[in-house]
Structure 1
Amino acid sequence: MKKLIGLAVVMGFMLQSCVTTEEVTVKKDGVITYAMDMDFSELLQTMPSANGGMSGDVKKALDLINGEELSVDQLLDISLLESKNPEQKKDSILKANPDLLKKTENLRMRVMMNDSIGNIGLKVIAKSASELNTSLANLKELSALGEGNGKKLDAPEFVKHSTYDWKKKTLQRTISVKPEDAAKSLGEMGQMAAMFTYRIKVSFEQPIKSVSYQDAMISQDGKSFVKEFKMSDVIANPKILEYKVELK
């Protein structure tokens, strides 16, 4: 169970995904939904069955959380299931990280996992671009979840250091992180980056007038675009994820 929950919450495992999709949806009223979907089904199919080594209790727990959107509070409870005195351990973690639940209250994570399907999703719903920026920076609070199994859990630096600006029908994303810091935060897993794809999808309620990516694929209705990168290119230069979109 600990390995399973570690997989569910550590965003560094995105590098084991065949495709990681980062989706931003912007509403006219300024509400922005940020979602990251990590699909590692193809990788999972090449590995021995994970279910073979699971106990009946672990399988039952997995069935309960599969497909459900979980709060950080729920993830913390799950991560401590196999700990001795889980309630005491949780109290200790929250005492050491008093702002953990407050700073991550609009964060949800979803896990889908069996022999052939592997998918992890993260979602943040923000009332404004400013709130989204704060929420992404607060992803560092996920490291507290690692205190239940001795492993530090965290989000990629280029996600936590993303800033979105939305005004006058214009959305702009900037990133303030050095390549060496992005690579360092991912450790040895960054060496596998060339094998994987990072996809950006941005959607609006109005048609797009222009996108700073000249080769972006704009949808038929003109209200969204998709741009793909090699993960190795993202790590080498996180600023390639920056963009500016103007709406009609």
Structure 2
Amino acid sequence: MRYIKHLLVLLTAITLTSCNFTENIYINEDGSGKFSIEMDGSQLMSMMPEDSLKTQKAMDSTYSFKQILEEKKDSISKLPKEQQERLKKLENFNIRTVMNPEKKEFMFSMNTDFKTVSDLQDAMSTMSTVQGASKAGKDMMPGGGFGDNNSELKYFYDGKKFTRKATVLKKDILEVEEDSMKQAMNMFYESSTYTVKYHFPKKVKKVSVESAMYSEDRKTITIEFPFSDYMKEPEKLNFEVEFEK
């Protein structure tokens, strides 16, 4: 309950500040690697009233989806078969939540190892399934996840090029009247950022996004996007990377 109370207070601060989201991919010579997505909500913490911060306890917890799937197996067994299979794709993901009221820090991250980037196919849309499709799903993602942007995300890497491609699932979305919460979320999207930071075993020749920044050895690229693009126009985050021979 204390954790839920904390999140509710964070939501009230959404219109006043922002969050930074970072998607990291590390690719090794053999195509295997690590994937993580992180949310830095420290600015939200900084907006919380001091009285509220005093009631919170510091925490640093790490757990795996495999554990959660086992704990929630009775609830999950009642879900449609297709959804159960999608949830199973997350069993190798680990979740870490760090909250330090004294330092006004709040971090939420998910990470996994992969044998090939194809193992990451639909990872983000699967996370969205966890967040919103059922009570069981919401219980499994106490941090609220990273937002369902109504797209299917795929990665490709063959040593010569790398691509990140999101495809919007539904083009015709009915406009609904904006209530105060939706307006607040839109303001949050506009003020937040979504950064991709990819680390490759080869030097990058060029990236199809002009704003891409390169590390000194040209093996790491960093691209910052408005979070509103990630949520509303995910195809704007599509790009291709070419490597030096």
* Common topology (TM > 0.5): yes
Distance 2:138 2:240 in 1: 38
Q: 1:95-110 counterparts in 2 under 5 A?
A: 95-97=77-79, 98-99=84-85, 102-110=88-96
Report the more deviating stretch, 154-163 or 206-215: 154-163
1:99: how far off? Answer: 4.1
Higher helix share: 1
**Residues 20 and 199, structure 1, Cα contact 8 Å, conserved in 2:** yes
Structure 1 residues 212 and 103, CA, compared in 2 at 3 Å: closer, same or farther? same
Question: Could you list the per-position Cα deviations for residues 104-141 of structure 1 after superposition, in whole angstroms to 9, with x for gaps in the alignment?
Answer: 11111111112110111111322112211044443244
Distance 2:228 2:90 in 1: 29
| Aligned position for 1:92 | 74
Unaligned stretches of 5+ residues in structure 2: 8-13
Letter in structure 2 aligned against 1:195 = S
The normalised TM-score by structure 1 is: 0.73
Q: Is 1:53 equivalent to 2:49 in the alignment?
A: no
Letter in structure 1 aligned against 2:166 = I
Tell me the secondary structure at the aligned position of residue 121 of structure 2: helix
Unaligned stretches of 5+ residues in structure 1: 8-13, 78-86
Alpha-carbon RMSD across the aligned residues, in angstroms, is 3.6
| Aligned position for 1:111 | 97
The normalised TM-score by structure 2 is: 0.73
| Aligned position for 1:129 | 117
**Residues 31 and 157, structure 2, Cα contact 8 Å, conserved in 1:** yes
Tell me the secondary structure at the aligned position of residue 194 of structure 1: helix
Distance 1:200 1:193 in 2: 16
Question: Could you list the per-position Cα deviations for residues 215-237 of structure 1 after superposition, in whole angstroms to 9, with x for gaps in the alignment?
Answer: 21111111011111222233342
Tell me the secondary structure at the aligned position of residue 236 of structure 2: helix
**Residues 219 and 225, structure 1, Cα contact 8 Å, conserved in 2:** yes
| Aligned position for 2:64 | 71
Question: Could you list the per-position Cα deviations for residues 3-60 of structure 1 after superposition, in whole angstroms to 9, with x for gaps in the alignment?
Answer: 44995xxxxxx99752111112222211142211111112211112444335xxxx4x
Report the more deviating stretch, 107-116 or 41-50: 41-50
Tell me the secondary structure at the aligned position of residue 209 of structure 1: strand
Distance 1:5 1:71 in 2: 23
Quick one: percent identity of the two aligned structures? 27
